[in-house]
Amino acid sequence: MGLMKKLSLYIFLVLMFSLFTSHSFAAKKHKIYKRLPCSFNGVKVGPSARLHDGVKGGRCCPTCSAYTKKRGTSMEMRRGTPIVAIADMKLIEIKDHSAEQKSKKIATSLGKKHGKDNYQSKNIMKPYDDIQMFFIDKKGNVILYYHLKETNLVKGFNKGDCKIPKEYQWGKRPNLPRDCGGYSKELIKNNFWVKKGQVIGLSGQTGKTKGGKHISLGIAIPPDEGFGNYLIEMTKDLNLLEDIDWFVPQILFEADFNKVCPSPSCALIGRHFIYELVRYPWTFTGNRMRYTAPQRHFKWENLPTDSDAYLFPVMSKKYLKKIGYYK
């Protein structure tokens, strides 16, 4: 081989090696994004949260049309994908609304009773995964995840007496932690806080149509800073092992309401609104706060740090191996 050919080959190999190594290091590098990317770690961002912003499809799915009261943006991925906490945040409520299927006309409207095997076979979503989790973060925002199939925060969902019904809302209330083996030891030990980047469940599916394999992620923001600070103050000592009906009156009457929440928004609603948050977070966040499309607002990061950016809700396999999730 001539000298020039050898030199050309050498230069080519050096360039290829440089390209490969620079790409490898770039993948490890921490980065903050001004907006959530429309695709990351195998996730495709789908129809937007619409309840308050009125966005039908959103930046990442402009031809999509979300239903009017949609609280979270859909994030499409393989069913069973590990889902992580996007921030350090405290659990407020977790329920399992899952069923083997959800008919277009739900069973309650048809007068059927739980336990009978005569459900619809057309116009259904099957499987129908819908574990819902509400958290409050250190900003006073409420973070909502739904359409998960499993969670490691509760021991017994979809087991024993907590097996999901054949039909959605088939004469049965959602499965609750207290009836399904309770919360995990780690969650109780950490006073119901989860850390940014911690695995909190597995993604689910709602039918076999395009986009059915997904979770929805919603972020509800308070009307002003005072309102958010009050939510933080009133939930910091919340213990989900205690009876909420006992806990809430304590915080209502022991706290100096006007000092803790001088916000006009608090005065307008009154001190009892904190009861709504811990008892009925779905209704509370829809009526008292504003769901905004996560992909349109907030800063996001690809690796967990102490920054105020939210973390991607799905991380790479390399990251999951590093934290010990995968052996």
**pLDDT, tens digit (0-9, with 9 covering 90-100), for 261-306:** 666 666 555 556 667 788 889 999 998 899 998 888 899 999 999 9
pLDDT per residue over 72-104, tens digit each?
Answer: 999 999 999 999 999 999 999 999 999 988 887
Nearest-angstrom CA–CA distance, 264 and 285:
17
- What is the pTM (predicted TM-score) of this model? 0.83
Look at domain 38-222+290-320 and name its CATH class. mainly beta
d(CA 235, CA 63): 39
Measured distance CA(98)–CA(227) in Å, rounded: 32
Q: How confident is residue 231, by pLDDT bands cut at 50, 70 and 90?
A: confident
In the chain, where the domains are located: 38-222+290-320, 226-278
- Within 10 angstroms of residue 252's Cβ, the number of other Cβ atoms is 16
Q: Who contacts 66 (Cβ-Cβ below 8 Å, separation ≥6)?
A: 47, 48, 49, 50, 55, 56, 57, 58, 74
What is the distance between the alpha carbons of residues 156 and 162, in angstroms, rounded to a whole number?
Answer: 7
Q: pLDDT digits over 174-220, tens only?
A: 999 999 999 999 999 999 999 999 999 999 999 877 778 999 999 99
**Cα angle, residue 61 at apex, residues 64 and 47 outer, rounded to 5°:** 60
* CA angle (184 as vertex; 180, 185 as ends), nearest 5: 135
> Which tokens hold the place of 272?
């009892």
How many C-beta atoms lie closer than 10 Å to residue 316's C-beta?
Answer: 16
286 and 51 in contact (C-beta within 8 Å)?
Answer: yes
Q: How many residues are listed for the chain in this entry?
A: 327
The answer to whether 180 touches 157, Cβ cutoff 8 Å, is yes
Long-range Cβ pairs for the range 183-186 (8 Å, 24+) = 183/153, 183/154, 183/155, 183/240, 183/241, 184/152, 184/153, 184/154, 184/155
